[in-house]
Structure 1
Amino acid sequence: MFAVTILGNNSAIPTLDRHPTAQIVTCNDQLLLVDCGEGTQLQIARYKIKRSRLRYIFISHLHGDHYFGLIGLLNSLSLLGRIDPLTVYAPPELETILLLQLECSGTTLHFELQFVPLIAENQGVILEDKELRVSFFPTRHRIPCYGFIIEMQKRKRKIIPEQARAYEIPAAYFSQLQDGADYQRKDGLLVKNDWVTLPPPLGKRYVYCADTIYTEDLLPFAEKADLLYHETTYLNNLAERAAERYHSTSVQAATLALKAGVKRLIIGHFSSKYTELEPFLEESRPVFPDTDLAIEGATYII
Structure 2
Amino acid sequence: MKSDKIDLDCWNSWTEKSSDEKFDRIGQGIGKGEYKLGAEFDVEPEGQNSSTHDLYVMNEKWEIKKLDDNDNSFRLGVKISASYLNIKIKVLNCFNALSKIQDQLVSGIIKEKINKIINSANSKHGRSEKSIIDGLYTNEVSGSNFDKLDELIEELKEITHNIEKEITFRNIQEIELYSSYDGKKIIYSTIDAFRKINLEKISKEKKINLFGDSEFFNKIYIYSELFEDLKLFKDTTFKKKLNKITRDVFNDVRLILVDKQKGFWPVSNIENIYCYRITHGGPRVRVKNL
Larger Rg belongs to: 2
User: Higher RCO, 1 or 2 (CA under 8 Å, sep at least 6)?
Assistant: 2
Determine which structure has the larger helix proportion and give its number.
2
Same fold (TM over 0.5): no
User: TM-score normalised to the size of structure 1?
Assistant: 0.25
Determine which structure has the larger strand proportion and give its number.
1
User: TM-score normalised to the size of structure 2?
Assistant: 0.26
